[in-house]
Amino acid sequence: MLEIKIGTRGSPLALAQTEIIKREILSSWPDLTIKVIPIKTSGDKNMSPFLKNNNNKGMFTFEIENALLNHEIDFAVHSLKDLPVKINPDLPVIAYSRRGNPFDALIGIEGVIGSSSLRRRLQLEKLFPDSKIIPVRGNINTRINKLDSGEFSITGLVLACAGLERLGLENRITKIFNEDEIMPAPGQGILACQGRKNENYFYLDTLHNKISGFCAMAERSFSCALNAGCNVPVGAYAKIVDDRLILKGLYIDEDNKKFYRGEISGNFNQAEELGKILAKEIFIS
């Protein structure tokens, strides 16, 4: 009997997301044995770089990728938005999940709103000019506990809808923001399976979602063309309508708070090229 070892972060959300992938695999391949291997990453050990600077590429993936290279796991499950746009070519994304809710949500009310993401905070400052927007880190449950306890006088939090729903916390949502209010992170809501180049991952064939894959390529291509890392204020959202891919992108100049927005559409087979074109166009228009 074939045993598959899946690597992931050890947070409650990462484990819940990996269980989604595990269930999907077993629904098609019930004879497989699947073991989930939690891996503590640099980002889990030390959150402070997120509040100090933008030099944090790969903080949630480095140790996991090493486990892949050392054959300690067979493949890894990531939130796609945590995966750097430039990854080791020997460790490609081998499957994309069906996309969950790609948007961000408010828990609580306006007033003092906490968020871990610079992308969110800058958009929130523009959306709610009378509110105070502060950085708040920790996993989802930790942040919600800070809200409920009144720590830092927080009255609201902005978190990814997909994460809340995957943890069964959707009942806490008071508002969902569309992409014109708060542009989501590239790849938000999509789970990425990362494996080793040229290995046979037949058991992921039925899990892979082609629509998610094309949307991911467009959004991440846009981000890559802007040389954006995990904490650079870039957002992107793609959808496919009647075989046409529609991509919206946002880049925020943090220093002068200038917002660069754009939209492009084209054949979904040109997803990667559309992302590159849009990245160039938003600074010209």
Q: Do domains 1-99+190-208 and 104-176 have the same CATH topology?
A: yes
Query: How high is the mean pLDDT of the chain?
Result: 92
* Partner residues linked to 125 by β-bridges: none
* Tens-place pLDDT, residues 139-150: 999 999 999 998
Give the CATH H-level superfamily of domain 1-99+190-208. Periplasmic binding protein-like II (3.40.190.10)
What is the β-pairing status of strands 191-194 and 75-79? antiparallel
Beta pairing, strands 104-108 & 156-160 = antiparallel
Residue pLDDT, tens place only, 114-133:
998 999 999 999 999 999 99
- pLDDT at 45 exceeding the cut of 80: no
* Structure confidence at residue 229 (pLDDT): 60
Q: Which residues pair with 96 in a beta bridge?
A: 192
Write out pLDDT tens, residues 191-233: 999 999 999 999 999 999 999 999 999 999 999 999 866 567 9
Strand partners, 36: 6
Pick the CATH number of 209-285 from 3.40.50.2020, 3.40.50.1220, 3.40.50.2300, 3.30.160.40: 3.30.160.40
CATH class for the region spanning 104-176: alpha beta
User: Residue 165: is its pLDDT beyond 60?
Assistant: yes
Strands 3-9 and 75-79: parallel
- Sheet strands side by side (includes 93-96): 33-39, 3-9, 75-79, 191-194, 93-96
pLDDT of residue 51: 45
Closest CA to 19 of 192, 223, 166, 234: 166
Q: pLDDT tens digits, residue range 252-279?
A: 999 888 999 999 999 999 999 999 999 9
Q: What percent of the chain has pLDDT over 70?
A: 93
Q: Which residues does 91 contact at the CB level (< 8 Å), separation at least 6?
A: 65, 68, 69, 194, 195, 196, 197
CB 194 within 8 A of CB 83: yes
Q: What pTM did the predictor assign?
A: 0.92
Nearest to 216 by CA among 87, 123, 116: 87
Which is higher by pLDDT, 6 or 43?
A: 6
**β-bridge partners, 113:** 133, 156
**Within a 13 Å sphere around the CA of 19, how many CA atoms are in the beta-carbon half?**
9
Instruction: Determine what percent of the chain falls in helix, strand and coil, rounding each to the nearest 5.
Output: 35, 25, 40
What pLDDT is stored for residue 257 in this prediction?
A: 87
Please report the pLDDT score of residue 47 as a whole number: 54
Residues designated as active site: 81-82, 119-120, 137, 143, 230
Q: How confident is the model at residue 98, as a pLDDT?
A: 97
Q: How confident is the model at residue 247 (pLDDT cuts 50, 70, 90)?
A: very high
Q: How many CB atoms are located within 10 Å of the residue 180 CB?
A: 10
- pLDDT class of 49 with cuts at 50, 70, 90: very low
Give the residue-averaged pLDDT of 235-243: 96
Residues 76-115: tens digit of each pLDDT: 999 999 899 889 999 999 999 999 999 999 999 999 999 9
Domain borders along the chain are 1-99+190-208, 104-176, 209-285
Is it the case that residue 43 has pLDDT exceeding 80? no
* Mean of pLDDT values over 32-37: 98
- What is the 8-class DSSP label of residue 220? H
